[in-house]
Amino acid sequence: MTLTSLVSYPDRGQGGRSEFRGNCSPRLVQDLIEHYKPKLFYDPAIGSGTSRDVAQSMNVPGFFSDLAQGYNVLESEPPYTGFDMAFWHPPYWNIIQYSGPGGQWGGAGNPGDLSLIQDYGEFIKALNEATFRIYETLKRGGRLAVLVGDVRRKGVLYPIQRDMRWYGTPDAFIVKAQHNMVSSRTAYNGNFVAIVTEYLVVTKKADAWIVPLRVTEAKQTDTRKWSGATWQNLVRAGLEFLGGEAELPALYECLQEHRRVQESSQKGVDWQAIVRRELQTRPHFRNVDRGRWCLVQPA
């Protein structure tokens, strides 16, 4: 099969154990090997052994281990480096627990187990450290393939592939359809959007020392500092901030903090008249009493 930016494997293929939660399709690893033709393969988190089984069936040597076998990618070193390809399928935060009571392996909780990290920011920090240690083992020209999925907690989406660091020159971004998931057999209420995809980020190590790095920075910005806002949206946001309904003086006072209002005042523009015009002409504003306005759904 020719590897494309969209893959789907309803037939899982041969390798690893399908009953092991969090396992990936052997056919994905097979396609990666067929496409990139690595001579030496590295997987520090084999889980049920999928990548090892596929690589062995294709006569590709390498190093295959994981935390359950005592290999902690955050602390351990492989016996050799200079891999042509590394495959990294980390836990998707704490969606599936691996070590500790109730985990896939059971026993005591392992301090190197990323699935035990409860704080998302700390998880991303540990994930980035592990990913870089894996990237370091590549030879120049080698590829790092990281398979991750999104997580939703209490209505909040955590896009791991977006939040993690990308080490190396981006080579491919592949969307992978998921099949036979536990969540696919669950009925959800409301406007819940089920997650049925994973993402494979493939990067290339182009230089021995210099590492291209892509980092997503989560920030908040106050739109009241933006002078390019339209008057319509400015008035709507002011009413929303005031609970959806307000007297004109309260709305004026609220809008005085906006940069566009301040710049208009400095230019001698009667911005209050503009606000009244917006309230009177837009279908999503309604006059409920003298000098009092509210937000409504346009017909």
**pLDDT, tens digit (0-9, with 9 covering 90-100), for 69-110:** 999 999 999 999 999 999 999 999 999 999 989 888 878 888
Tell me if 253 is assigned to some domain. Answer: yes
How many domains does one find in the chain?
2
258-288: per-residue pLDDT in tens? 999 999 999 999 999 999 999 999 999 999 9
Tell me if 1 is assigned to some domain. Answer: no
29 and 164 share a domain? yes
What pLDDT, on a 0 to 100 scale, did the predictor assign at position 17?
A: 85
Tell me if 128 is assigned to some domain. Answer: yes
Closest CA to 250 of 260, 242, 240: 242
227 and 195 share a domain? no
Burial of 210 (0-12, 13-18, 19+ CB in 10 A): exposed
62 and 94 share a domain? yes
Tell me if 22 is assigned to some domain. Answer: yes
Tell me if 127 is assigned to some domain. Answer: yes
Tell me if 121 is assigned to some domain. Answer: yes
Beta strand ranges found along the chain (DSSP E): 6-7, 41-43, 62-64, 83-88, 138-149, 151-153, 156-158, 166-167, 169-177, 197-204, 213-214, 245-247, 285-289, 292-295
Average pLDDT, the chain: 92
User: CA 204, CA 160: separation in Å to the nearest integer?
Assistant: 20
Tell me if 109 is assigned to some domain. Answer: yes
129 and 207 share a domain? yes
Burial of 113 (0-12, 13-18, 19+ CB in 10 A): buried
195 and 272 share a domain? no
Phi and psi torsions of 199, nearest 5° = -135, 135
Helices 259-266/271-281 angle, 10° precision: 130
Question: Sign of dihedral through CA atoms 3, 60, 51, 203?
Answer: negative
Provide CB contacts within 8 A for 202, sequence distance 6+: 32, 143, 144, 145, 146, 170, 171, 172, 173, 174
Chain centroid, CA 187 distance in Å: 24
96 and 203 share a domain? yes
254 and 133 share a domain? no
Residues in the chain: 299
168 and 33 share a domain? yes
pLDDT classification of 240: cutoffs 50, 70, 90: very high
Last residue of a domain, one of 214, 248, 278: 214
141 and 243 share a domain? no
What pLDDT, on a 0 to 100 scale, did the predictor assign at position 179?
A: 81
Last residue of a domain, one of 214, 235, 268: 214
Which residue range(s) make up the domain with 34? 6-214
Q: Which residue has the higher pLDDT, 183 or 153?
A: 153
CATH classification at residue 59 = 3.40.50.150
What pLDDT, on a 0 to 100 scale, did the predictor assign at position 190?
A: 66
Tell me which residue has tokens 């406007």.
Answer: 191
Q: Residue 154 has which token pair? A: 């209490």
Closest CA to 248 of 284, 291, 206: 291
Closest CA to 27 of 62, 53, 65, 60: 53
Q: Residue 156 has which token pair? A: 């909040």
CATH classification at residue 258 = 1.10.10.10
Last residue of a domain, one of 214, 237, 271: 214
What pLDDT, on a 0 to 100 scale, did the predictor assign at position 186?
A: 56
174-218: per-residue pLDDT in tens? 999 988 765 555 555 667 788 899 999 999 999 999 999 999 988
201 and 229 share a domain? no
Q: Residue 140 has which token pair? A: 């120049």
122 and 264 share a domain? no
Enumerate the H helices of the chain as residue ranges. Answer: 26-36, 50-57, 120-136, 160-163, 231-241, 248-255, 259-266, 271-281
pTM over the 0.85 mark: yes
Q: What is the CA radius of gyration of the chain?
A: 26
Tell me if 65 is assigned to some domain. Answer: yes
What pLDDT, on a 0 to 100 scale, did the predictor assign at position 250?
A: 97
Query: Which residue type does 182 have?
Result: V
Find out whether 267 and 281 touch, Cβ atoms under 8 Å.
no
153 and 186 share a domain? yes
